[in-house]
Amino acid sequence: MNVVVIVTDSLRADHTGYMNSAGGGPPAGKVAKSLRDRHGGPWSLAAQTPNLDRLAGEGTVFEHYYPEGLPTLPVRTAWWTGLWTFPVHGWRPFQLSDVLLAEVLWDKGYTSALVADTYHLHKPVYGAGRGFDTVVWIRGQEYDPWIVDAEVDLDASPHHRLRGDESDEHWRPLFEQYLRNATTLRREPDYYVARTVTAAIEWLEHMTQRQKDRLFLWVDCFDPHEAWDPPEPYWSMYKPDGYAGAEITDPVPGPVQGYMTPDEVERTRTLYAGEVTLVDKWVGRLLDRMRELGLYDNTLIIHVSDHGEPFGEHGIIRKAMALNYEELVRSPLAIRHPQGIGAGTRVSALVQSVDLMPTILDFLGLPLTLEQQYRAPARDLFPQDMIAATKSVELEGRSLLPLMAGRQRRIRDFAYIGHYGRSWTIRSHEWSFHMFLRPGERRLYNLRDDPGEQHDVLQDHQPVARELELELRRLVDVVRRQRGVVE
Please classify residue 22 by burial: count the beta carbons closer than 10 Å to its beta carbon, then call 0-12 exposed, 13-18 middle and 19+ buried. exposed
Q: Taking the CA atoms of 136, 140, 146 and 149 in sequence, report the sign of the dihedral they define.
A: positive
The architecture that CATH gives domain 421-487 is 2-Layer Sandwich (3.30)
Q: How far out from the chain centre does Cα 217 lie?
A: 17
Domain with CATH 3.30.1120.10 in the chain: 421-487
The CA-atom distances, in angstroms, between 256 and each of 214, 265, 274, 397, 451 are: 48, 8, 21, 37, 21
Q: Which DSSP helix (H) or strand (E) runs through 370?
A: strand 369-376
Buried b / exposed e across 407-417, counting CB within 10 Å, b at 16+? Answer: eeeebeebbbb
Work out the number of other CB atoms within 10 angstroms of the CB of residue 470. Answer: 10
DSSP 91-150: S-PPPTT---HHHHHHTTT-EEEEEE--GGGGSTT--TTTT-SEEEE---STT-S---S-
Sheet of strand 345-352, all strands in order from the earlier edge strand to the far edge:
134-137, 111-116, 215-221, 2-8, 299-304, 333-336, 60-66, 345-352
3-state DSSP assignment of residue 365: coil
The CA-atom distances, in angstroms, between 239 and each of 229, 235, 248 are: 13, 8, 13
Domain with CATH 3.40.720.10 in the chain: 2-412
d(CA 401, CA 112): 22
DSSP secondary structure code for residue 434 in this structure: E
Phi, psi (degrees; rounded to nearest 5) at 72:
-50, -60
Q: How far out from the chain centre does Cα 107 lie?
A: 27
d(CA 273, CA 252): 19
Contact (CB, 8 A) for 63 and 52: no
Angle in degrees, 0-180, between the axes of helices 262-292 and 50-57, rounded to the nearest 10: 60
Q: Residue-wise pLDDT tens for the chain (487 aa)?
A: 999 999 999 999 999 999 985 433 333 233 334 333 443 334 456 799 999 999 999 999 999 999 999 999 999 999 999 999 999 999 999 998 899 999 999 989 999 999 999 999 999 999 999 999 999 999 999 999 999 998 999 998 999 999 999 999 999 999 999 999 999 999 999 999 999 999 999 999 999 999 999 999 999 999 999 999 999 999 999 999 999 999 999 999 999 999 999 999 999 999 999 999 999 999 999 999 999 999 999 999 999 999 999 999 999 999 999 999 999 999 999 999 999 999 999 999 999 999 999 999 999 999 999 887 777 776 666 667 777 778 889 999 999 999 999 999 999 999 999 999 999 999 999 999 999 998 789 999 999 999 999 999 999 999 999 999 999 999 999 999 999 887 7
At a CB cut-off of 8 Å and minimum separation 6, what does 188 contact? 194, 231, 278
d(CA 353, CA 83): 9
Phi, psi (degrees; rounded to nearest 5) at 115:
-120, 120
Q: Which fold has domain 2-412?
A: Alkaline Phosphatase, subunit A (3.40.720)
Contact (CB, 8 A) for 272 and 15: yes
pTM: 0.94
